[in-house]
Amino acid sequence: MPAAVAGPEIERLIQLLARLPGLGPRSARRAALHLIKKREALMTPLSSALQVAIDKIEVCRTCGNIDTQNPCTVCTDLRRDPAIIVVVADVADLWALERAHAVNGFYHVLGATLSPLDGVGPQDLSIDALIARAHDPNVTEIILALNATVDGQTTAHYITDLLHDANVKVTRLAHGVPVGGELDYLDEGTLAAAMRQRTLF
């Protein structure tokens, strides 16, 4: 077993950083060392920002986005088109579409996709709230911007069935999104093209 090269506090910092997506043990050690070297410039402001995030970030009661205000910044933006609701599985997908400036509507975050193998059923997603929002007379289109995976498409079919009595057009992203692809990993150009070429579901 390798000998520890730093005290338990530093080792704990490395272990916590290694839990972040995209950071393995080596990257976590480099990041920790960088933070320690730049304590005043990086570590102190980061610590403060993390505490503020813990205290102030909430889940939007309207769409499921995360923000420091409730309803969130997106839901309170009066420049958006109230006729469009874009359905996404996760907040990361909402942020990806916003980075691409692909649509100017509102969003609805499901929280996940249906996945019987993982024990995720309809009761675990915010589908009921989506159906209620779809019955608002101002809403004319529901865009299903779900991952092109088996679980994503199963969820899209399930939601489409539930929307049969709502007076809305149900569309999905065009096939510019690769099969098996996840929205958060796509470039902005692909996302924007897929949104422009959406089709009836």
Instruction: List pLDDT tens digits, range 92-104.
Output: 999 999 999 989 9
Longest CA pairwise span in the chain (Å): 66
**7 has pLDDT over 90:** no
Mean pLDDT, residues 100-116 taken together: 94
pTM of the model: 0.77
Q: List, as own/partner pairs, every contact residues 8-17 make where C-beta atoms lie below 8 angstroms and the sequence separation is at least 24, other chains included.
A: 10/36
3-state helix, strand, coil in the chain (%, to 5): 45, 10, 45
- How many angstroms separate the CA atoms of 76 and 42, rounded? 32
**112 has pLDDT over 50:** yes
| Cis amide prior to 71 (ω within 30 degrees) | yes
- How many angstroms separate the CA atoms of 108 and 87, rounded? 5
H or E element at residue 53: helix 44-56
First CA to last CA across the chain, in angstroms?
56
Identity of the amino acid at 109: V
